[in-house]
Structure 1
């Protein structure tokens, strides 16, 4: 069995690497590693890269006091333990020369080829670009690196090795810098290593981050583990002998080793379960490595015959592998003295993949189908990153979606065709829909879970059979953002809503601009493409719709844009004086503008109400009733409001509030609800004033109506119900009515 994964584990277990001799000397750490699997000509090419990097970094010293070249050589050693190919080792040696020296990516391409240059470029930070904030710079660095990784996964392998060595030598940094780097490592780099199946790198990054973020806790748990190792030595030795003997009895050829849980994993379990260290029994477990897959289940049967298994503590990751390709059988047994014993059972090949993950493609050059599946899963995850990138408008959005997508815990559900889909814990039916395809997500209207209809917000559980029902006219709902957990779903929903809002805002903006142009006695049709192009250049935008959108969202004044458009015509427009008066005064509200038009919750305007419109920055056009108290202060400033009117034909429903005083009798609420339904209206919400022993009660409804006529019909119908004493339309939020009335009483 190849020893590369074991070498890697030994290398990264050191808090700081041993001093390295020059890379091309006979006994150097890098030379020893490369001779295990490289041809002499490949080794010479790597040494040429070493000499190139050594010259570039000549005279530069790290904060640790060592020559700078020791860092890229250490990174190359970590990757050599993974048996990575020549371009990756060269990229490791050269990964800092573009960032820290005058050498360019083009220089590397001419010297070592395009492949190495692209790997180095993918790892290189964007320090030479100015950003508005440190968080934006960090986000853009991740974005660039991960997009390069989506083209070639070796980019992230180099970056992870780079981060691992930086963490091993972090003691030279200032304490605040240590914590900052450790937090970034724990939030992003360790989860990526886990997602790619690089188990040893993942555990080392977590432990090192833990050491610098919580040094006292790290020290306490470390000492406790050392003490427990000694205290439990006799029990561990007895269990190890029993397992080895039992496997021989069942004729299972296996290698049995001890496995110690890494420190951050222990700490995470203690904090998550509020458990003291003395009650964490699976600190030390066992790993059984057999020859092939049938041997895994044979070994499982042998161990279950030896010690009683705990039923709730068995997981079969062979039948259903983790998303990062990890396969193993996990079982917890009740050992001697009732002590729980955790055992992992896997084949040699599964063990190699568990340690090397996606790097196993280079490490073992195996043609086994399982590696192909692993590569496909990795490709799908990288493709999701590309999808998120395409849907995210900026770097901070992308980083937020990435963090969401790096959930370590997963649930496994079945598609209607029987395929298994891995989703993050707490994923909902909407997350599932977007995981299948973005079009399915955008058009989903309902879901069947285990053949029964369920709400779209339902959280999925392991083994659920999920079927999405779509509608041709359906579209994403903004409320979905409250419960989706995957970055892919969140990115697609936000992209759709932003696009829809931008489109609707552009329509409103065009109508506002046309109004302003007509007020200047200019026909909007006379504004030529040349005029628009000049204005777009002046504003620094690419499309006309961007300007219209900004007008609709209140970010630009329609009158100002109109004046600038007219000014660009150099007097070539004919002025019109006989324009319809309506065009000069009003904007028509159709009621279907959804994202770009907001109906004020303070007065709930409905068609038929006299209305005013206010352009609010970032909210677009906000519609109020004429008598709304909120608009009184704006009426004195005509620049802040504009006259609007309803489109004669409206099909949508609008919210309005009703206050009913009724006899305090059983069944009244049901009678009123039935009356509202009979009038063709919907109940959006209802609240009841707290009973105070009175013979009457106040009910507050938010109902949906088409217009004032519909509302009048509804109110007439409700007055006919016996014991309805009074009914009137109210303004404001009904959720506060009962409280306010009670206080005033």
Structure 2
């Protein structure tokens, strides 16, 4: 295996087109299931390898004996056709064997162990990677599908041949779906269009990509496809003369330049015409680049010389030249694209490439096997590059994402790149999806760069992190050691890699904060029982036994999970502490008088068993300040331990908090402000002002003079008359600072009334 692919786990192995009924339909002629047609394509294999393939064929034939497809053909015709497609790509003997046996585990109950014993581990691993997860139980079909996708891409991580065999399987099923029920055919076509065709495109398998799209179009919109195909056929006759004329003139021009070329006409697929009409809201008559020409030359130098020949022959259309040789597409595609004005005044696109580039353009990653003996190594290098870059990104996403559906969401984002090409300050080129931002760029460089990003420059100018990048931009990311990912970034990043990295960081942050809070709360609650928290050291046998008994009682898998549950409010610290105290008593651990005194120093009106949690402004996912009352230092505060929401801090006089206390009093714990605070705090104020010019400027000036900042301003929807009521969020240090702000505002000539907003 020449390519070591780096991927993750994705793809439903919904092996389609396998309809079975109780009664077998009439079999097709025996020659339809003959091995001879396949053997004729396998001349590149050795005699020993051919014998292995024949053994795999016999095994599959016996396994599928008596099984028929919906069309009435023996089922074995499907594996033979799939193996034939793999043989066209010159895949090796293990891949051909896997193609022949790819349904034996799923349909006929053959075990992987049996395949390993008969055909070896490599072929058995390929077959297992192609087998879906029907034997497992899932809540929904979508969950089953998502987990099957993950399983296939896990196999793809070990061996890229898995996806090549799968795409060949899907292509043959799409070609033979005519006998299937329309509803099922449409579901399969939609899945293929959403997942399999984009994967083929990402891996550079453009021939398969185009055919899968057209077949899906035929099943999803048969009437539209028929109408468009008819229009294309009709227009083909109208332009035959111009195509012949252009082709002849191009050949003559290259003959004079003494450049040996292959000139071939090409036509847009019906689906690509349909998609262009949909995107641009055009009619068929407005799509004027339905046909074009491909120029295949012998060397890289001749590509650029050919461009000069064409530009001397016909006038180029300004802005319609693309150099995908110097800057290849994300899937490894390389060509020069130029649009010229034909003799009849219509634009015609030309693609110029070498033989090796053409192989990669059509066969993509499969060109590695087709051209692995190429002395230049160009096709192999291209295939290896495109085979590793995207698969590596899938592996990174898999490392951060354990939820199947979320993983599938990230991968779908990356399946539609429509790339822009940007440069690092050292002139390295990166391909990113259209709409990508400097944050996507930072995570494409390295996850540590993304995590610590604080600002960016594009073409030397400072820009906001949500700025959309354009092709040709030079992007520089500015980092800081203390910076951390912002949850707001999830709304502006476009790449699955960036999204998964940000989500992973935020989940870990919430987990660590909840664990720390849970430990603090349980220790305080246990102190009220006169006991200290047992050690977390696994070497302490008594403590380890206590934690094992406690987690078994609580239903948690380990100590850390229990602490997280306490920190998130899923379990009450005082109840867990009483149970732990009972277990400690069984092990002979008695309450200590000094610890008991320390645990009960809290005021009588607070819940003594819970102790005090101090708030210093560094709270995050586990400790939050309520937005209804917006407490600030100096306010009397109390904490509500929501179910799964962490600790929510309210002011003692908050009406919302009081209602929660009456309904759920056991979830309230004592909290207090720490002596050292780490930041300023937002507080809501209402201001009634005389309406007139410069009012907002006066308010801003007054607040600024009091050394506070406005973080939000709401003027409401009511039309302003003589007076207007404004609501502001201001950032202050504490209650004393807020009092200074309110006094300063009252002295402003336009202010009639000012007060703190309370729920």
TM-score, reference length from structure 2 = 0.89
Deviation, 1:396, is 1.0
- Structure 1 stretch 518-527 or stretch 51-60: which is displaced more? 518-527
Q: Which residue in the other structure is 1:81 paired with? A: 88
Deviation, 1:644, is 2.5
CA 1:71 to 1:566, structure 2 compared with 1: closer, same or farther past 3 Å? Answer: farther
Q: Which residue in the other structure is 2:616 paired with? A: 590
Deviation, 1:584, is 2.6
2:617 match: secondary structure = coil
> How do 1:563-602 and structure 2 match up within 5 A?
563-569=578-584, 571=586, 572-575=588-591, 577-578=596-597, 579-582=599-602, 583-585=608-610, 586-602=612-628
Q: Which residue in the other structure is 2:261 paired with? A: 254
Ranked by relative contact order (alpha carbons within 8 Å, sequence separation 6 or more), the top structure is: 2
- 1:531 pairs, out of 539, 546, 551, with 546
Q: Which residue in the other structure is 2:335 paired with? A: 328
Answering whether residue 634 of structure 2 is matched by residue 608 of structure 1, we say yes
Q: Which residue in the other structure is 1:685 paired with? A: 712
- Residues 188 and 403, structure 1, Cα contact 8 Å, conserved in 2: yes
CA 1:693 to 1:388, structure 2 compared with 1: closer, same or farther past 3 Å? Answer: closer
CA distance in 2, matches of 1:726, 1:408: 55
- Residues 407 and 425, structure 1, Cα contact 8 Å, conserved in 2: no
Q: Which residue in the other structure is 1:138 paired with? A: 145
Deviation, 1:274, is 0.5
Q: Which residue in the other structure is 2:278 paired with? A: 271
Deviation, 1:156, is 0.8
CA distance in 1, matches of 2:30, 2:153: 30
CA 1:19 to 1:178, structure 2 compared with 1: closer, same or farther past 3 Å? Answer: farther
CA distance in 1, matches of 2:216, 2:633: 60
- 1:664 pairs, out of 671, 691, 705, with 691
Answering whether residue 678 of structure 2 is matched by residue 651 of structure 1, we say yes
CA distance in 2, matches of 1:47, 1:31: 9
- Residues 360 and 383, structure 2, Cα contact 8 Å, conserved in 1: no
CA distance in 1, matches of 2:720, 2:466: 39
Answering whether residue 124 of structure 2 is matched by residue 97 of structure 1, we say no
Q: Which residue in the other structure is 2:472 paired with? A: 463
2:40 match: secondary structure = helix
How big is each residue's C-alpha offset from its partner over 1:369-413, in whole Å with a ceiling of 9 and x where there is no partner?
533244134212211111100100311111111111112410111
CA distance in 2, matches of 1:64, 1:306: 53
CA 1:608 to 1:285, structure 2 compared with 1: closer, same or farther past 3 Å? Answer: same
- 1:488 pairs, out of 485, 497, 515, with 497
CA distance in 1, matches of 2:438, 2:94: 43
1:598 match: secondary structure = strand
Answering whether residue 213 of structure 2 is matched by residue 188 of structure 1, we say no
1:208 match: secondary structure = helix
Point out where structure 1 has 5 or more consecutive residues left out of the alignment.
1-17, 733-745
CA distance in 1, matches of 2:31, 2:525: 75
- 2:41 pairs, out of 23, 30, 33, with 33
- Residues 616 and 678, structure 2, Cα contact 8 Å, conserved in 1: no
Deviation, 1:603, is 1.7
CA 1:217 to 1:476, structure 2 compared with 1: closer, same or farther past 3 Å? Answer: same
Q: Which residue in the other structure is 1:12 paired with? A: none
Answering whether residue 655 of structure 2 is matched by residue 629 of structure 1, we say yes
CA 1:137 to 1:567, structure 2 compared with 1: closer, same or farther past 3 Å? Answer: farther
How big is each residue's C-alpha offset from its partner over 1:57-97, in whole Å with a ceiling of 9 and x where there is no partner?
22222222221211111111111111111111111111111
Figure out how many residues of one structure are paired with residues of the other and give that number.
Answer: 712
1:346 match: secondary structure = strand
CA distance in 1, matches of 2:717, 2:361: 61
Q: Which residue in the other structure is 1:207 paired with? A: 214
Q: Which residue in the other structure is 1:479 paired with? A: 488
CA 1:114 to 1:654, structure 2 compared with 1: closer, same or farther past 3 Å? Answer: same
1:621 match: secondary structure = strand
Answering whether residue 568 of structure 2 is matched by residue 553 of structure 1, we say yes
Answering whether residue 737 of structure 2 is matched by residue 723 of structure 1, we say no
How big is each residue's C-alpha offset from its partner over 1:615-673, in whole Å with a ceiling of 9 and x where there is no partner?
22342222222332323432323134333222232122221112222343433322322
CA distance in 2, matches of 1:487, 1:84: 31
Q: Which residue in the other structure is 1:4 paired with? A: none
Q: Which residue in the other structure is 2:57 paired with? A: 50
CA 1:65 to 1:559, structure 2 compared with 1: closer, same or farther past 3 Å? Answer: farther
- 1:121 pairs, out of 121, 128, 131, with 128
Deviation, 1:501, is 0.5
- Residues 660 and 699, structure 1, Cα contact 8 Å, conserved in 2: yes
CA 1:717 to 1:160, structure 2 compared with 1: closer, same or farther past 3 Å? Answer: same
- Structure 1 stretch 346-355 or stretch 715-724: which is displaced more? 715-724
CA distance in 2, matches of 1:652, 1:558: 29
CA 1:706 to 1:177, structure 2 compared with 1: closer, same or farther past 3 Å? Answer: farther
Answering whether residue 700 of structure 2 is matched by residue 673 of structure 1, we say yes
CA distance in 2, matches of 1:97, 1:481: 43
Deviation, 1:559, is 3.9
Answering whether residue 406 of structure 2 is matched by residue 393 of structure 1, we say no
Answering whether residue 93 of structure 2 is matched by residue 67 of structure 1, we say no
- Residues 20 and 29, structure 1, Cα contact 8 Å, conserved in 2: no
CA distance in 2, matches of 1:651, 1:705: 12
Answering whether residue 722 of structure 2 is matched by residue 714 of structure 1, we say no
Deviation, 1:239, is 2.2
- Structure 1 stretch 92-101 or stretch 712-721: which is displaced more? 712-721
How big is each residue's C-alpha offset from its partner over 1:175-211, in whole Å with a ceiling of 9 and x where there is no partner?
2222221121111111111011101011111111222
1:187 match: secondary structure = helix
CA 1:333 to 1:362, structure 2 compared with 1: closer, same or farther past 3 Å? Answer: same
CA 1:693 to 1:570, structure 2 compared with 1: closer, same or farther past 3 Å? Answer: closer
Answering whether residue 417 of structure 2 is matched by residue 429 of structure 1, we say no
Deviation, 1:515, is 4.2
- Structure 1 stretch 521-530 or stretch 591-600: which is displaced more? 521-530
2:570 match: secondary structure = coil
CA 1:19 to 1:649, structure 2 compared with 1: closer, same or farther past 3 Å? Answer: farther
- Structure 1 stretch 688-697 or stretch 653-662: which is displaced more? 688-697
CA 1:541 to 1:97, structure 2 compared with 1: closer, same or farther past 3 Å? Answer: farther
- Residues 194 and 408, structure 1, Cα contact 8 Å, conserved in 2: no
- Residues 454 and 478, structure 2, Cα contact 8 Å, conserved in 1: yes
1:224 match: secondary structure = helix
Answering whether residue 190 of structure 2 is matched by residue 165 of structure 1, we say no
CA distance in 2, matches of 1:338, 1:31: 50
How big is each residue's C-alpha offset from its partner over 1:40-61, in whole Å with a ceiling of 9 and x where there is no partner?
2222211111111111222222
- Residues 629 and 654, structure 2, Cα contact 8 Å, conserved in 1: yes
CA distance in 1, matches of 2:554, 2:30: 57
CA 1:415 to 1:401, structure 2 compared with 1: closer, same or farther past 3 Å? Answer: same
> How do 1:292-441 and structure 2 match up within 5 A?
292-365=299-372, 366-370=374-378, 371-441=380-450
Deviation, 1:570, is 5.9
- Residues 509 and 551, structure 1, Cα contact 8 Å, conserved in 2: yes
CA distance in 1, matches of 2:577, 2:74: 64
How big is each residue's C-alpha offset from its partner over 1:206-250, in whole Å with a ceiling of 9 and x where there is no partner?
111222222222222222222222232222222222222222233
CA distance in 1, matches of 2:706, 2:154: 56
Deviation, 1:520, is 4.9
How big is each residue's C-alpha offset from its partner over 1:5-55, in whole Å with a ceiling of 9 and x where there is no partner?
xxxxxxxxxxxxx98947764xx32112112x2222222211111111111
Point out where structure 2 has 5 or more consecutive residues left out of the alignment.
1-27, 536-541, 603-607
CA distance in 2, matches of 1:222, 1:125: 36
CA distance in 1, matches of 2:264, 2:713: 64
- Structure 1 stretch 718-727 or stretch 161-170: which is displaced more? 718-727
CA 1:538 to 1:227, structure 2 compared with 1: closer, same or farther past 3 Å? Answer: farther
CA 1:589 to 1:525, structure 2 compared with 1: closer, same or farther past 3 Å? Answer: farther
1:312 match: secondary structure = strand
CA distance in 2, matches of 1:543, 1:288: 65
Deviation, 1:441, is 0.5
